Amino acid sequence: MNTRYLVGIAVAAVVVVALILVVPGLGSGGDGTAGTSSTGGGDAPAISDGDTLPSDRPDVGSSSSGAGTDVSSNAALQDAIDAAEKAYEADPENVDDVLSLAGLYLQGNRLDDAGNLYEEALQLNPGNVAASLGLGMIDLANGQVDGARERIEKVVKDNPESQLAHYNLAIVYFSADEREAAQAEWEEAVNLDPSSEVGKMSQQFIELMGSGGSDGASSNPHSG
């Protein structure tokens, strides 16, 4: 399996959740501290231009499995986008290239461009799991938690062996402060393949969630 675009979408999911979690009040009682679980979903604040990642996010900027360039900086991300755009222009019907560019656009907060490419991927390959998950991440980035949940839960139901689907569903639950549900999905992703990049990122999140200590403090790895 070509893992290049899969890892790209997984990294983009980290970007989405990290950006959302630094918006004051999300998943909290409004004071920036962890609050009650938001089982009903609802709408979260959309990502704003200029938002940056918290420094304690999982270390997923680079990959040895084919994701390619370390995109932890804006310059590196733009370089990766430029290269992916050339590949896409050379073969716009190559689904892997479409998905790779879409994932990079998502990381760069170019949500409309990413969404258009994910729709293209679905036209080329109806039912494509990665494209459906990418659209779910765009829903989440736009603050549409219910839409993201519905879309990705359906992907998981239809594709229970998809590691990336469980990983992204965990992202949605985590963003809604449903920590136990998120951890269960990340654990399922790890169980499916602990050696893959998605499995390793899932394990990082599980470890970060458990780093809040035993004194009842929030286990939010992005909290200050």
50: left (phi over 0), alpha (psi -120 to 50) or beta: left
Q: 207 near 215, Cβ under 8 Å?
A: no
Inside any domain, residue 206: no
In 10 A of CB 93, how many CB atoms? Answer: 11
Q: Which domain, by its residues, includes 104?
A: 4-17+68-164
pLDDT tens for each residue of the chain, 224 residues long: 344 555 555 666 666 655 554 332 222 233 322 322 333 344 444 444 444 333 333 333 333 223 334 455 788 889 999 999 999 999 999 999 999 999 889 888 899 999 999 999 999 999 999 999 999 999 988 889 999 999 999 999 999 999 999 999 999 998 888 999 999 999 999 999 999 988 998 998 898 888 753 343 344 443 43
Inside any domain, residue 199: no
Residue 147 is predicted with a pLDDT of: 95
**pTM > 0.85:** no
Inside any domain, residue 83: yes
Domain count within the chain: 1
Residue 28 is predicted with a pLDDT of: 28
Residue 212 is predicted with a pLDDT of: 52
Task: Give helix 4-21 / helix 95-107 axis angle, nearest 10°.
Answer: 20
Nearest in space to 135 (alpha carbons), one of 82, 150, 125: 150
Q: Is 134 strand, coil or helix?
A: helix
157: domain CATH number is: 1.25.40.10
Inside any domain, residue 53: no
Inside any domain, residue 192: no
Q: CA–CA separation, 195 vs 174, rounded Å?
A: 23
Q: CA–CA separation, 144 vs 176, rounded Å?
A: 11
